[in-house]
Structure 1
């Protein structure tokens, strides 16, 4: 017997395992998925008793390793229900072992003639896996495969023969030996190394857990701790602990980037990928390394929890390039923070994520976790939604084991209390984003990587999708040669200038950005108000002659899924309301061409009694009911609120400003009512946009200097009950004027602090009242020729002050 063969395996602490509410719930999801996965199994004839899942030739062996972990867990689970799956436990075990053997033989350490099955992924078809001879990224990424492979083998160790055990040892030891001496990688911008460092730690963790008496245990442990500690690090961590922390993988505000933008999936990678060590430790009744816990709570509390919508998904505030339904991945993030860190909010979010996971699965006759006909949902030439099934299942395996050996976790928070506690404004200066949460809405603005705004109602991304051109839109130029991404046509990468003003309960964002090769300058403001409304203002200046093929701004992504078990979130159609017509659109993938409908400009648009839009300056509206996709992310339509039919601009000019007031969680009737209460002002200075909406005054100053402005409402207001704002409020006859000072290149809002009431009908035509509202003081002047009587009511306490004013008399009210 060789030295390797004599190495003892660590005993699994099955006596510590105890079924509970959470582990049982996840187990049943996996059991329901099992028959679907079972159909994806195929025997592999190159060696006896071998087989693979999902074609056996996906990236890094993931398809077989991840699925094998499901089969291994259920094969050993004491509460596995054969009656539910229709698959005998012995059959589940046999296929799990066959998959382990397939991976062992086709790994770099296996016989040279053993390669993977032939498949549609030409990079993996008929090749070995393991990363031998490859660069760091693809070679180290097999760590995620190694972790699941090792987990499956460990669960079934007593059932493995000598040959299979030897294959497992060779695979795990080769990875641990290869990477334990390497240094962790550094990087936070564009392509964070948190993922790479964490998956390398996870791969080493498998050998570290299974083979406690291996002579290279100390080396493995040292390497594992270095990789895992350096997975979530900021500049201050490196400065504080330069001997052990060699990397910076996160910005100081705990944002980070992958694929060139702040990506929620990669934001959580450090917690998820190195978290496998915690599962190994629980299974083996060992202490969890502190390096796996490092910075988890800071990261979770500063970003992941703050960005979470009702179902646990972190809102992609700079867009999403993967599929939207990633609740399985986030469910494990929340499960880890719940069980290992005792976070009550995580406990609640985990349960909510599971509810949606169950809803999606219960809508699919095959028990799929994503799409019923996933092979039809194309992500790339060799990736479909079906290929992401095993990835989703793997996260559920991790969560199930976490609960089985670690308990149900903390008692969940009260949802209303959590929402109240998390509401407010969060500014990420390094991630270049600002977020505003209210009780039932979420808004954000990003000024780098993807310059975009988001306004999301209570249903989250099931209602509005975070397309990377959200609000700011797309501009396609007519040019002879294709331009690079830096021309900011499909979306905008960066701004020329920006200014962010955060309030206690809202924000005002300004940005100036170039389109094309300095052909257009697009100045935008995005204001988020305390009640969840947002206001988008756009001023486009043509800088030089150019030809435009298409210009679409005010773009909104509309989710249009159908999941029968979740009609409240995904009923399969969207109804779009206009002032004089109603149109419905069915949501489905493929089968038909896109359905595109153009509409004339209107005052307001409302979507599905869920979110409304009040418009000024729109040149036309288009709805794209999308069925054809270059890349599947989910079923989503596009609502274009400002579609310009343009051809050539012959020289410098300014386009009419375009304004969108977005009303989350408003019905059609409420949107119509709000439109009647929204008034645009005419200003005495250029580059100023001012409007009032439901007792809020919203402003944007696009000028490079501070200005004192005087503005008149373009609509007749109800002068019998007039909201007053900080500054000078003037009522002259039937007109209302506001004057005040606006800082340079800034946007924001003023709230109604006082209301002017009971300016009688007989006084309206001749009255001239001026009210200067300052902090803690009111100056009220009657500039007319007749005496007037007014009532001033304070917004907060409702206190009423009655005044009788003679002509040219000023009274002062302190408060």
Structure 2
């Protein structure tokens, strides 16, 4: 009975508001109007972001081509029905339409007049997408129409946003086609229930992007009889995206209903971390910007946003910003399987935190991201932010301009001018994520013992030096020609306000045990003690523990294309991507401003990378190298080493 009451209360608050939205906010063309008042706050940042978008669009326009020679339909990729073909085009169209609709357009920067861009590019791109969707009359060149796919709701929402920005300028066939595509995808999502998963593969991002197509349907079809049903589904999908296990009993009222009554499963941990790609993944923690986009479109159209859009988002961002470094990029305590030089991608999150959460630390990181993006763009004459090979994701260039547009729009709703604040030093312990970090005055320490066991120290500088290699601090051992899987057997954590001590027992397969003690102090020193013991008779082919990935890229804006390596007193210049190998018995190692002090002689190997992996060059520094074949009896100690790491 109580559940029914709450449901009626929810419907009672939504339905009358829908009627108001339809009667008072409908535009003459039958879409919700776009209200954007001038806001003097963060004008300099918005101007810089806008110029980034213009130049990035200039690059994207260079990829523009007629489809099958027909100038009435255009695209920037090959023709196909999958994500790599539809998403870049949808995001590009939305970026072009954004520039047409908003800001002080500079045709010199973009390379085309607004009128020509509309007629020769925006309309042809939208026509291609509406006609090749499943509700259209054509198929892409792989013989399939796009739509009803795992991510097609996102692509349709991007296309819908593009259409909404320039609605009054669109031909009737595209208006009708855009509505048909968006309604089809919105109906599909609205009829389903949001999934949930806590371990390894959170459904938070998918639920948030699925909600967006429903938001687009509301923008394009406010007079549709499905409006109330769509908005109810939008609230449900947005709310489901970032719920925690404790939300199952939460009494907080969101959109007039207790959270516990809206709970259908958790997608994030109680400590506001989440797992995706089998790790605690900062990139996917930041995917909440898709819920924030719903919030922006409600504000733009003059509606009061649903509270579900921002539920739990400030707390997630609070975790994210603990993982950001001074250049606006992340430390990745569990490693990173995507590109790492994505500083510009995170600007919508910072902008939303500035505008909607009033977070002064977000101002600092917004400006850091801006500086990095501008430096990145300066490398490429056509305006591309990413350099060739820097981000292998097919939609990287196409979607980036759209994300920057969202950052610009977010800042339009800033409420106060905030002084940028630096990150506070000290410990953050993510209990569910099994990650401990310590920000000191000049270094960032992290240790993780969940799906990935890693130990890292990075300087608090724009050059990270350390690459997020998933064997950092632990290394690898090969037994009988087989690289052994690393497994945690036990962990003991002690923390204070500014320091931590973690004792771990780790096994390399069933053969070698590593007893590891990791100490982080407030002065910025990280000390690792490791003892390797044979658990049974075995033969090792190679032992390479206490290893660290070293970034050494020829073209990254905060690297110089080489590393200065010092093994005791012997100094070398290691060129990026050179494949150079250095070996020595040394007590100390220095890589630029990172110092590794072993105190006693150790076999050290430094191997420079020869090729890109995950869009970066990662050299490998091994501080405990036992090369060649060795036989070990059960109980034998392979090595005992201590290394103290500092950033100077």
TM-score by length of 1: 0.72
The equivalences for 1:95-134 within 5 A come to: 95-111=121-137, 114-117=138-141, 125-131=142-148
Query: Is the 1:7–1:213 contact (alpha carbons within 8 Å) kept by the matching residues of 2?
Result: no
For the pair 1:396 / 2:380, whether they are aligned, the reply is no
Out of 262, 268, 273, which is 2:280 matched to? Answer: 262
2:61 — aligned with what?
38
Distance 1:572 1:598 in 2: 18
Structure 1 residues 461, 541: CA separation in 2 closer, same or farther (over 3 Å shift)?
farther
Identify which of 608, 614, 619 aligns with 1:632. Answer: 614
| CA distances 1:260-318 after superposition (whole Å, capped 9, x unpaired) | 1100011121x2121221221232122121100111122222x1122221133332111
Shift of 1:644: 1.1
Change (3 A) 1:391 1:621: farther
Find the counterpart in structure 1 of residue 13 from structure 2.
none
Contact 1:179–1:200 (8 Å) recurs in 2: yes
1:549 corresponds in structure 2 to 541
Tell me, yes or no, if structure 1 residue 63 matches structure 2 residue 88. yes
Tell me the distance in 2 between the aligned counterparts of 1:200 and 1:628.
37
Matches within 5 A, 1:751-766: none
Q: How far off is 1:602 after superposition?
A: 0.7
SS for the counterpart of 1:606 is: strand
Give the equivalent residue in structure 1 for 2:488: 495
Aligned with residue 581 of structure 2, among 597, 600, 614: 597
1:236 to 239, 246, 249: 246
Q: Count residues in correspondence.
A: 609
What is the Cα deviation at residue 336 of structure 1? 0.9
Which structure has the larger Rg over C-alpha atoms?
1
2:563 pairs with 1:574:
yes
Structure 1 residues not aligned, in runs of 5+: 1-5, 118-124, 132-138, 589-593, 667-815
- The structure-2 alpha-carbon separation of the partners of 1:454 and 1:206, relative to structure 1 and needing over 3 Å to count, comes to same
Distance 1:48 1:41, change over 3 A: closer
**Aligned position for 1:11:** 33
User: Partners of 2:517 and 2:117 in 1: how far apart?
Assistant: 58
Question: 1:169-210 deviations in whole A, cap 9, x for unaligned?
Answer: 011101111111321111111001111111111121111222
1:227 aligned residue:
237
Question: What residue number does 1:359 align with?
Answer: 375
Q: Which residue in the other structure is 2:4 paired with?
A: none
Report deviation, 1:618.
5.7
1:51 and 2:34 aligned: no
Deviation at 1:46, TM superposition (A): 7.9
Q: Which aligned pairs between 1:260-659 and structure 2 lie closer than 5 A?
A: 260-269=278-287, 271-301=288-318, 303-371=319-387, 373-374=388-389, 384=392, 387-403=395-411, 405-407=412-414, 410-415=416-421, 418-419=422-423, 422-459=424-461, 462-479=464-481, 487-488=484-485, 492=486, 494-516=487-509, 518-563=510-555, 566=557, 569-588=558-577, 595-608=579-592, 610-616=593-599, 619-629=602-612, 631-652=613-634, 653-659=636-642
Alignment deviations for residues 590-621 of structure 1 (CA, whole Å, 9 cap, x no partner): xxxx513132121111112x111101456422
Q: Judge conservation of contact 1:617–1:656 (CA < 8 Å) in 2.
A: no
Q: Which has the higher contact order (CA 8 A, sep 6+)?
A: 2
Cα 1:103–1:600 change in 2 (3 A) is same
Question: How big is the shift at 1:411?
Answer: 3.0
SS of 1:367's partner is coil
Q: In the TM superposition, what whole-angstrom CA distance separates every residue of 1:9-41 from its partner, at most 9, and x where no partner exists? A: 112225557792222111101112222111111
| 2:23 equivalent in structure 1 | none
* 1:143 paired to 2:149: no
Say which SS state the counterpart of residue 272 (structure 1) adopts: helix
- 1:74 aligns with 99
Distance 1:267 1:199, change over 3 A: same
Contact 2:426–2:498 under 8 Å retained in 1: yes
Distance change >3 Å, CA 291–CA 618, structure 1 → 2: farther
How far, CA to CA, are the matches of 2:474 and 2:564 in structure 1? 24
Residue deviations 1:311-368 (CA, integer Å, cap 9, x gap): 3333211111100012122111111111122212112211111111111111223322
Pairwise CA RMSD: 2.3
C-alpha separation in 2, matches of 1:587 and 1:385: 23
Match of 2:46 among 12, 23, 33: 23
Counterpart CA distance in 1 for 2:574 and 2:561 is 9
Structure 1 distance, partners of 2:418, 2:52, is 21
Deviation by residue 1:387-409 (Cα, 9 ceiling, x = unmatched)? 42123222112112223x424x5
DSSP-derived class of the 1:25 partner: helix
**SS in structure 1 opposite 2:382?**
coil
8 A Cα contact 2:373 2:385, kept in partner? yes
The residue aligned with 2:202 is 192
Question: Which one has a larger percent helix, Structure 1 or Structure 2?
Answer: 2
Q: Are residues 1:218 and 2:207 paired? A: no
The 3 A distance-change label for structure 1 pair 548 and 91 is farther
Distance 1:232 1:152 in 2: 27
Structure 1 residues 246 and 648: CA distance shift in structure 2, 3 A: same
Query: Residues 15 and 256 from structure 1, CA distance in 2 versus in 1: closer, same or farther, beyond 3 angstroms?
Result: closer
Change (3 A) 1:626 1:126: farther
TM-superposed CA distance for 1:48, in Å, is 5.9
User: 1:91 deviation in Å?
Assistant: 2.9
TM-score, length of structure 2 as denominator length: 0.89
- Whether the aligned pair in 2 keeps the contact of 1:140 and 1:199 (CA below 8 Å) is no
- Render the CA deviation track for 1:117-175: whole Å, top value 9, x for unaligned: 4xxxxxxx4432212xxxxxxx3422321221111111111111011111100111011
Runs (5+) with no aligned partner, structure 2: 1-27, 251-258
